[in-house]
Chains A and B, each alone.
Chain A
């Protein structure tokens, strides 16, 4: 009998100490869809990294819950009348080693960024931030020549080559965050940001456990944060979960408080009383689109250099059916080159792509018109059959697979004679193919780096990075140049209108076939409030999150 009692006691002890879920008030447990690539702002390339960096480090400015730019480390800033000099006045804020956050921390980080960054090196340069001499420094010039300076420890001055109307919104992007030079130099080369100890914090949270590739990251409130009084969260725990099925079960199990699910699961979630209350669909700035390789020499896709064939394909895709029957996660059919609910006009507050019908003539679902275009293409090209390949990266989940299958079915049905072969591949191979011109059509997407349509428009200039469409239009290039470094840069309204003309050129030539604006379907536990969701720079911000 004694033995049995001991056993029962032992089992209850284990059960009580080892309970499966570890929820507690003031602790938020969040799903991360992928690993953090790097906490080094110059090496971070992905949303997960940006989000965690933004938890730990404050930049000059930040976004409020509605996406408006508000002060962070910079208490205020002045812009010179010509719009080419920004002077930021820094507040008293501390790094977690006790050092003051100074203007030199920004000077150091920005210079270093130009020297060592790969993917985001371009952001300081003449296509985006236009910081004086940035392009030269990226190519190896003396970093001291970069147009940034610190006249005193609390004043940070940036000189630009041209007025950049969205410059303040860029400051939210982690690339522009500071690094403490003394701390950085005290570390062994290459180890900055590789563990929680090799990282310095001036933001709302500090990490208590992290190594690169970590499947879980633990953070806690930073008591020395300048705005600590407004941070209520005590602990923040990230769990990397790559399967959304796993995420949903973990959420139902109460092991996570905030997860992102995919389109397949929405029906199930909506049928469940409690889960449907927790569902939050948030439009992201992601534009999913079809791109065409217009190189006339491309062996069998030379046909895609014909604008009528491209227009025919674009007009035979039923985007509403695509989002409602295949993507199903709240993504929205899009008929413009700029995604919906993105880049509000600073004067009117209207989003750039508010009018989805303005290019209906070129982009839409219109099988009859598609056939007309197709007939024209056939007679111009002198052939009736077109074998085209459509490549896509298959490691981004099953949504893209459903999308390409639907596009193939719709186009083949509406355009008799077009045959599309689907080619899945890894992301690395996909990027190689689209940058080296070995593709016909590709399903691709772009997420904005800053809150201005230009983050998309620069993609399609002759010099534009990434995908080689082999499309070049002098008028388009001229407008974009005028709007970045030319005369229109300083005139807000004229620039805005010019961008619409650029978009028209893009779409009447069917350089791309826009498909949809992406959305994230989140489940947020009912005891959690105050998480801010954004479509640019940093997806989720937890500074004002509350867990009851």
Chain B
């Protein structure tokens, strides 16, 4: 088991390294300067590039970046655009995205499970059809469209929720973005739950339990949900990361200082702020890799067949 875990961790580190390398190279070969050149003369641009070490060969730049990263700093640690330190801003944006992400995960999981279970229990009936329609809508309609819809009805037609995000009223003003973000997870989780439950309910051991005289909630809790929900957890995990890394469009529309908005701002300005784009890219990927690693390990513990199969690869 220890060998298995060690292998997973090593693999994760190699993946992360490769991602950092690819990101670094891609950003460097993108056209444009990382700082605003609009009113600068060629001489000044050259001076500035030399100051930032951008005139060195790309591998040397990468080695420098990596050594700084090892010491816990993203590049020189400041925005190349306005010179302000990156980290405080990064953490502040992460906090906002995290909080809204958690809200939408909670909401999405709760509603998703409820819908999925309801659909499975009423298979073939009206409620099943209703839940299917909701989940198809959830997969098809992008969350920002839903967001605009919510904003129009609940901030404009009926001015109940604030039109823009407001840190001083965090919970209240993050209801709408969290709700719209959770639409996709509601859809995914409910569909997955329904299918798993239907499968489990048709299995021999549930039929046996039924014939033993177990009914209703007891049967559901002890036999069906237990077995059906383990695979569902594997869907929820990546969704969690997805939601926590922020949503570019929603953050932009609703005026939330989150990681998605930060990424867009770093790319779409007069210059591409290398340090921000890289820092965010590294954070996003490490979060995914970490969650996948956890899942892998969890799988290995839950299901020895996977561990053995993978160890033989």
Contact of A213 with B by CB under 8 A: yes
Contact of A70 with B by CB under 8 A: no
Nearest residue, chain B, Cβ from A393: B270
A253 touches B163 (CB 8 A): yes
B82 touches A435 (CB 8 A): no
Contact of A486 with B by CB under 8 A: no
* Chain B binder among A161-169, A242-250, A331-339, A362-370: A242-250
A118 touches B48 (CB 8 A): yes
A428 touches B269 (CB 8 A): yes
B159 touches A45 (CB 8 A): no
A243 touches B253 (CB 8 A): yes
A118 touches B44 (CB 8 A): yes
A211 touches B257 (CB 8 A): yes
B164 touches A215 (CB 8 A): yes
Contact residues, A106-121 vs B (CB, 8 A): 116, 118-121
Please report the C-alpha to C-alpha distance between residue A463 and residue B88 in the assembled complex, in whole angstroms: 40
Q: How far is the CB of A222 from chain B (nearest CB, A)?
A: 21
B270 touches A45 (CB 8 A): yes
Contact residues, A14-30 vs B (CB, 8 A): 15, 18-22
Q: Which residues of A contact B32 (CB under 8 A)?
A: 426, 428-429, 431-432
Contact of B233 with A by CB under 8 A: no
The interface residues of chain A, by DSSP majority, are classed as loop
Q: How far is the CB of B65 from chain A (nearest CB, A)?
A: 19
Contact of B38 with A by CB under 8 A: yes
Contact of B73 with A by CB under 8 A: no
A18 touches B89 (CB 8 A): no
B255 touches A212 (CB 8 A): no
Of B30, B44, B151, chain A has the most CB atoms within 10 Å of the CB of B44
Contact residues, B30-83 vs A (CB, 8 A): 30-33, 35-42, 44-45, 47-48, 78-79, 81-83
Q: Which residues of B contact A426 (CB under 8 A)?
A: 32, 267-268, 272
Contact residues, A218-266 vs B (CB, 8 A): 239-243, 246, 249-250, 252-255
Chain A interface residue count: which class? 35 or more
Q: How far is the CB of B264 from chain A (nearest CB, A)?
A: 9
B164 touches A18 (CB 8 A): no
Contact residues, B231-279 vs A (CB, 8 A): 252-253, 255-257, 261-262, 265, 267-272
Q: Which residues of A contact B152 (CB under 8 A)?
A: 249
Please report the C-alpha to C-alpha distance between residue A526 and residue B36 in the assembled complex, in whole angstroms: 38
Contact of B161 with A by CB under 8 A: yes
Q: Known: A118-B40, A122-B39, A239-B255. Contact between A43 and B271, CB under 8 A?
A: no
B252 touches A190 (CB 8 A): no
Nearest residue, chain A, Cβ from B93: A213
Nearest residue, chain B, Cβ from A467: B38
Please report the C-alpha to C-alpha distance between residue A21 and residue B158 in the assembled complex, in whole angstroms: 11
* Chain A binder among B2-10, B165-173, B187-195, B302-310: B165-173
Partner of B42 from A243, A427, A432, A435 at Cβ < 8 Å: A435
Q: Known: A122-B40, A463-B41. Contact between A395 and B85, CB under 8 A?
A: no
Please report the C-alpha to C-alpha distance between residue A426 and residue B41 in the assembled complex, in whole angstroms: 21
Contact of B1 with A by CB under 8 A: no
Of B82, B85, B267, B270, chain A has the most CB atoms within 10 Å of the CB of B82
Of A43, A138, A243, chain B has the most CB atoms within 10 Å of the CB of A43
Contact of A35 with B by CB under 8 A: yes
A212 touches B31 (CB 8 A): no
A249 touches B38 (CB 8 A): no
B167 touches A209 (CB 8 A): yes
Q: Which residues of A contact B88 (CB under 8 A)?
A: 194-195, 211
Contact residues, A419-441 vs B (CB, 8 A): 425-429, 431-433, 435
Q: Known: A122-B39, A242-B252, A428-B270. Contact between A20 and B82, CB under 8 A?
A: no
Partner of A116 from B45, B83, B161 at Cβ < 8 Å: B83
Partner of A427 from B167, B262, B270 at Cβ < 8 Å: B270
Nearest residue, chain A, Cβ from B89: A212
Nearest residue, chain B, Cβ from A428: B32
Contact of A145 with B by CB under 8 A: no
Contact of A69 with B by CB under 8 A: no
Contact residues, A97-156 vs B (CB, 8 A): 116, 118-122, 138-139
Chain B interface residue count: which class? 35 or more
Contact residues, B188-219 vs A (CB, 8 A): none
Q: Which residues of B contact A241 (CB under 8 A)?
A: 164, 255
A465 touches B172 (CB 8 A): no
Contact of A276 with B by CB under 8 A: no
Contact of B92 with A by CB under 8 A: yes
A431 touches B160 (CB 8 A): no
Partner of A252 from B44, B156, B165 at Cβ < 8 Å: B156
Please report the C-alpha to C-alpha distance between residue A462 and residue B228 in the assembled complex, in whole angstroms: 73
Contact of B22 with A by CB under 8 A: no
Q: Which residues of B contact A250 (CB under 8 A)?
A: 163-164
A211 touches B89 (CB 8 A): yes
Please report the C-alpha to C-alpha distance between residue A43 and residue B262 in the assembled complex, in whole angstroms: 18
Partner of A255 from B81, B83, B164 at Cβ < 8 Å: B164
Contact of A40 with B by CB under 8 A: yes
Partner of B265 from A19, A35, A139 at Cβ < 8 Å: A35
Partner of B41 from A44, A246, A465 at Cβ < 8 Å: A465
Please report the C-alpha to C-alpha distance between residue A429 and residue B33 in the assembled complex, in whole angstroms: 8
Q: How far is the CB of A134 from chain B (nearest CB, A)?
A: 13
Contact of A38 with B by CB under 8 A: yes
Q: Which residues of A contact B30 (CB under 8 A)?
A: 428-429
Q: Known: A211-B92, A216-B166. Contact between A122 and B41, CB under 8 A?
A: yes
Please report the C-alpha to C-alpha distance between residue A429 and residue B159 in the assembled complex, in whole angstroms: 41
Please report the C-alpha to C-alpha distance between residue A241 and residue B251 in the assembled complex, in whole angstroms: 11
Q: How far is the CB of B267 from chain A (nearest CB, A)?
A: 7
Q: Mark A445-489, 1 if CB is under 8 A from B, else 0.
A: 000000000000000000101100000000000000000000000
Nearest residue, chain A, Cβ from B251: A215
Contact of B281 with A by CB under 8 A: no
Q: Which residues of A contact B41 (CB under 8 A)?
A: 122, 463, 465
Q: Mark A179-207, 1 if CB is under 8 A from B, else 0.
A: 00000000010110111000000000000
Q: Which residues of A contact B166 (CB under 8 A)?
A: 216
Of B40, B163, B271, chain A has the most CB atoms within 10 Å of the CB of B163
Contact residues, A478-513 vs B (CB, 8 A): none
B39 touches A466 (CB 8 A): yes
Q: Which residues of B contact A249 (CB under 8 A)?
A: 151-152, 156, 163
A431 touches B37 (CB 8 A): yes
Contact of B132 with A by CB under 8 A: no
Partner of B36 from A15, A20, A118, A255 at Cβ < 8 Å: A118
Q: How far is the CB of A444 from chain B (nearest CB, A)?
A: 10
A253 touches B155 (CB 8 A): yes
Q: Known: A118-B44, A429-B32, A435-B45. Contact between A395 and B268, CB under 8 A?
A: yes
Q: Which residues of B contact A122 (CB under 8 A)?
A: 39-41, 44
Partner of B84 from A119, A191, A243 at Cβ < 8 Å: A191
B163 touches A37 (CB 8 A): no
Contact of A358 with B by CB under 8 A: no
Please report the C-alpha to C-alpha distance between residue A442 and residue B155 in the assembled complex, in whole angstroms: 41
Partner of A37 from B44, B47, B81, B267 at Cβ < 8 Å: B81
Q: Which residues of B contact A195 (CB under 8 A)?
A: 88
Contact of B162 with A by CB under 8 A: yes
Q: Which residues of B contact A120 (CB under 8 A)?
A: 39
Contact residues, B88-143 vs A (CB, 8 A): 88-89, 92-93
A20 touches B163 (CB 8 A): yes
6 CB-based A-B contacts, threshold 8 Å: A19-B159, A19-B160, A20-B160, A191-B85, A216-B165, A428-B270
6 tightest A-B contacts by CB?
Answer: A428-B32, A20-B159, A215-B255, A38-B82, A255-B163, A432-B32
